[in-house]
Amino acid sequence: MSTKPITMALAGNPNAGKTTLFNELTGARQHVGNYPGITVDHKEGYFTHNNREITITDLPGTYSLTAYSVEEVVARDFLTSQKPDVVINIVDASNLERNLYLTTQFLEMGVPLIIALNMMDVAEDRGIEVRFKKLADLLDVTVVPIVARSGQGTDELIRQAIKVADSDKKWHSRDISYGEDLDEVLMDSITIIKESSFLSEEYHARFTAIKYLEHDDQMLSKGQEENPTLARKLEQTVGVISDHLHKTMDAYPEAIIADHRYGFIKAIIRQGVMTHKFDTDRLYTSDKIDKVLTNRLIGPVLMLAILFGLYQFTFSWSELPVAWMGNLFSWLGSMVEATLPDGLVKSMIVSGVIDGVGGVLGFVPLIMFMFFGISVLEDSGYLARVAFMMDRIFHFFGLHGSSVMPFIVSGGIAGGCAVPGVMATRTLRSPKERMATLLTVPFMNCGAKVPVLVLLIGAFFSDHKALYMFLFTMLAWLVALVTAKFLRMTILRGESTPFVMELPPYRFPTLRGLLIHTWERTWQYIKKAGTVILGISILLWAMMTFPGLPQSEQDTFNTARSNITNSFPDAVQQELTSFNKDTAELSEKAAELKDKLQVIDQEESGLTLQNSIAGKIGIFFEPISRYAGFDWKTNIAMLGGIAAKEVIISTLGTVYSMGDVDADDASSLGERLINDPHWNSVVAVSALIFIMFYAPCFVTVVCIAKEASWKWAFFSMAFNTFFAFLASVAVFQIGSFLG
């Protein structure tokens, strides 16, 4: 028995159960990456069967092998370039006719094939009986019935797949008749192709000829590259019949080819492969549910309720684990604080490394819950319906129905996070619509912006807090959609992708599948966001720390501290030194000393910040930022907000000489802002608008760079900041003019 490792490819229509089978076979032994240059997932998994090492690739779901979409190009290129030992074609037994369309193209391509007839249980429930042996005989391909969800039949499938991989059978392109006219042209083209061995390393001659007839863009350009003269000759040959068919039948060859393929499938099915126990016209449960869930009036209401439920689930259930993670990093910080001696290294580890990386990892539980919720909606089939219902509104703004989820995840209902939102744009296939979505989701009010909004609204509009929160949430939606429209009309101009999507029937998701999907995406987040964060955290820390105060000024503060400390009796000094806040309370005198020392510390940290690189940048920008009503202190806070929006509060606290201010305990800072002569309600609205719309936090920027490119990440920072500044200037100037 051979022990040679085997390569397998899983291919089939979307929602046929490829990923379920892939997860069933490989479990956690899988690797998710990208195909080069595109965001289509490349999933590879490993397992052994009777000591045979097997590498299996889960190809993207496709309906055909003609280059109509990026998935189809990826699947076809993989099969021709990697030449797997066997292709497992997953066919949905409850939707045989549609699924066999792709099978016919595998047969034409002449790849070593085995059919996994999946969802036999669903077919049985629908009263569909599939005679798989008959199908195997008629197609001359091994057919194995399976139920991927339960693992039923998968062992036999792999056994048979290994048999196909090991066999010496020569796979040829299968002949399907496309009618007299087309067959004649096909034969002529095949002769030309064979004579010159045109593209013969990758494709069978018949397959190449069919793709030329189908006007396959990728095949045409490949032909032009390999042999321009021959390619032109072939194009002319198929061009004649194409024009003739268009004139006489008002149809192109590809439509006639598709018609004949469906005819071929029908002819096979009618030979007793499939029988229906019930009326074939009956609507299945899934269709009945759709009549309600996608109803024009009830549908959107139910959708809002379900999405709100997802939002509630994510944020309420993740609250505790997020707090645990926060506590873990606080504990780690205090451990380092207590262990290391005072100095730059300690400051860098605590403020730069632990706070920066901890800030990112602190989101992990939230991300996990969010992705779990999305996986439930996705695996149950509801997400496709949401996209369908939202397409009409989003289409108007140049986006796609599938853009809705990234918007909601990013804070469409205030409190999301732009990082998973940016990552959720992967579900979009059109590059321009995806880019427009990716660049506008950071406008949503994420969970990090909410404390800042609460602080400023609470301070300056305390009588109408809820109303202002609602208005600012609506404003975020409006700005995001209008900006998307603007981008689609300018730099991302292009035709909208037609919304054509096959809706999968409603299914109960499997726990195993949900957990694998959740972990896959969460791990991507940890890996991607976590690698660059460390460097940027340290950079921001350095900008707010260096060059520090000159020695003479440090000495002045130290002298002031000594003078104040010495003005108190030794007993009070001793009490403050040995004070433990968990076990005792300070005496009145000791508390007074502590407050006085704190005032000096705050003054020193404020002055250090003013003297730091960040402070100097803040002062540098003041002449411009004045137009929006911001002084240099606010500028530093905004600069810090690029790290994470919550940092705006702590930075404002520091610059207003209050020391560190906790994001959740911002009331005292609010009072300080009200009393500051530079702040008023107009400045507050201007600042709110700037904070909502300026450059995304650096975790989001890194994600945009990873999902698109650094060029787009920088564009996002520059464009958003420019737009936010213009809006803030307009608000401040008009507000000031009106008084």
Partner 1 sequence: MTLKDLNKKCSCFAQRIQNCTKGERCNKHHGPLSKNCQAGKVKICKLTGDRRHCARMAALGVLPGAEAELICPQTGSQCLLKIHGGTLSLDQGTSDNIIVQSV
Rg of the chain, C-alpha, whole Å: 32
Among residues 187, 240, 255, 734, the one that binds partner 1 under rule CB under 8 A: 255
Residue 250's alpha-carbon distances to 217, 259, 260, in angstroms, are 21, 14, 16
Q: Cβ of residue 63: shortest distance to partner 1, in angstroms?
A: 5
What is the DSSP secondary structure assignment for residue 663, as one 8-state letter? T
Is the Cβ–Cβ distance between 472 and 479 less than 8 Å?
Answer: no
Q: Cβ of residue 498: shortest distance to partner 1, in angstroms?
A: 5
Is the Cβ–Cβ distance between 544 and 640 less than 8 Å?
Answer: yes
Q: Cβ of residue 210: shortest distance to partner 1, in angstroms?
A: 13
Kindly state whether residue 290 participates in binding partner 1, applying the rule CB under 8 A. yes
Is the Cβ–Cβ distance between 666 and 674 less than 8 Å?
Answer: no
Q: Cβ of residue 338: shortest distance to partner 1, in angstroms?
A: 60
Kindly state whether residue 276 participates in binding partner 1, applying the rule CB under 8 A. no
Nearest to partner 1 of 499, 519 (CB atom): 499
Q: Given the structure tokens 């021959």, which residue do they identify? A: 230
Among residues 258, 428, 481, 713, the one that binds partner 1 under rule CB under 8 A: 258
Nearest to partner 1 of 179, 458 (CB atom): 179
Whole-number Å distance between alpha carbons of 242 and 262: 20
Kindly state whether residue 585 participates in binding partner 1, applying the rule CB under 8 A. no
| Binding residues for partner 1, total number by CB under 8 A | 45
Is the Cβ–Cβ distance between 497 and 430 less than 8 Å?
Answer: yes
Considering only the stretches 89-97, 475-483, 584-592, 708-716, report the one whose residues sit in contact with partner 1 under the rule CB under 8 A.
89-97
Residue 182's alpha-carbon distances to 208, 212, 237, 407, in angstroms, are 14, 12, 11, 48
Q: Cβ of residue 244: shortest distance to partner 1, in angstroms?
A: 15
- Pairing verdict, β 142-145 and 52-58: unpaired
CB neighbour burial string for 681-720, b if at least 16 within 10 angstroms, e if fewer: ebbbbbbbbbbbbbbbbbbbbbbbbbbbeeebbebbbebb
Kindly state whether residue 295 participates in binding partner 1, applying the rule CB under 8 A. yes
Among residues 227, 294, 611, 657, the one that binds partner 1 under rule CB under 8 A: 294
Computed from CA positions of residues 274, 275, 278, 282, in that sequence, does the dihedral angle turn out positive or negative? positive
Among residues 195, 243, 287, 662, the one that binds partner 1 under rule CB under 8 A: 287
Nearest to partner 1 of 208, 524 (CB atom): 208
Among residues 66, 154, 445, 625, the one that binds partner 1 under rule CB under 8 A: 66
First to last CA, the chain: 89
302: CB partners within 8 A, 6+ apart: 292, 293
Is the Cβ–Cβ distance between 596 and 564 less than 8 Å?
Answer: yes
Dihedral angle computed from the Cα positions of residues 660, 666, 672 and 677, in that order, rounded to the nearest 10 degrees: 100
Kindly state whether residue 392 participates in binding partner 1, applying the rule CB under 8 A. yes
Q: Cβ of residue 43: shortest distance to partner 1, in angstroms?
A: 24
Whole-number Å distance between alpha carbons of 63 and 247: 28
Q: Cβ of residue 539: shortest distance to partner 1, in angstroms?
A: 46
Q: Cβ of residue 183: shortest distance to partner 1, in angstroms?
A: 18
Kindly state whether residue 243 participates in binding partner 1, applying the rule CB under 8 A. no
Is the Cβ–Cβ distance between 57 and 6 less than 8 Å?
Answer: no
Give the footprint of partner 1 on residues 533-562 (CB under 8 A): none
CA 424 remoteness from chain centre: 3
The SS3 of residue 88 is strand
Among residues 39, 41, 80, 101, the one that binds partner 1 under rule CB under 8 A: 101
Binding string, 498-537, against partner 1, x = CB under 8 A?
A: xxxxxx-x--------------------------------
CA 248 remoteness from chain centre: 47
Q: Cβ of residue 452: shortest distance to partner 1, in angstroms?
A: 38
Which of 646, 376, 360, 378 lies closest to 525, judged by CA?
360
Considering only the stretches 278-286, 402-410, 484-492, 588-596, report the one whose residues sit in contact with partner 1 under the rule CB under 8 A.
278-286
Kindly state whether residue 259 participates in binding partner 1, applying the rule CB under 8 A. yes
Residue 23's alpha-carbon distances to 5, 79, 117, 652, in angstroms, are 20, 21, 17, 49
Kindly state whether residue 281 participates in binding partner 1, applying the rule CB under 8 A. yes
Q: Cβ of residue 252: shortest distance to partner 1, in angstroms?
A: 6
Nearest to partner 1 of 223, 365 (CB atom): 223
Nearest to partner 1 of 60, 696 (CB atom): 60
Nearest to partner 1 of 25, 100 (CB atom): 100
Whole-number Å distance between alpha carbons of 620 and 622: 6
Binding string, 393-412, against partner 1, x = CB under 8 A?
A: --x-----x-----------
Whole-number Å distance between alpha carbons of 176 and 264: 7
Give the footprint of partner 1 on residues 175-234 (CB under 8 A): 214-215
Binding string, 352-391, against partner 1, x = CB under 8 A?
A: --------------------------------xx--x--x
596-600: long-range pairs with CB below 8 Å, 24+? 596/564, 597/561, 597/564, 597/565, 598/659, 600/557, 600/560, 600/561, 600/564
Among residues 30, 95, 518, 634, the one that binds partner 1 under rule CB under 8 A: 95
Footprint on this chain of partner 1 (rule: CB under 8 A): 63-64, 66, 68-69, 94-98, 101, 214-215, 250-252, 254-255, 258-259, 262, 281, 283, 286-287, 290-291, 294-296, 384-385, 388, 391-392, 395, 401, 496, 498-503, 505
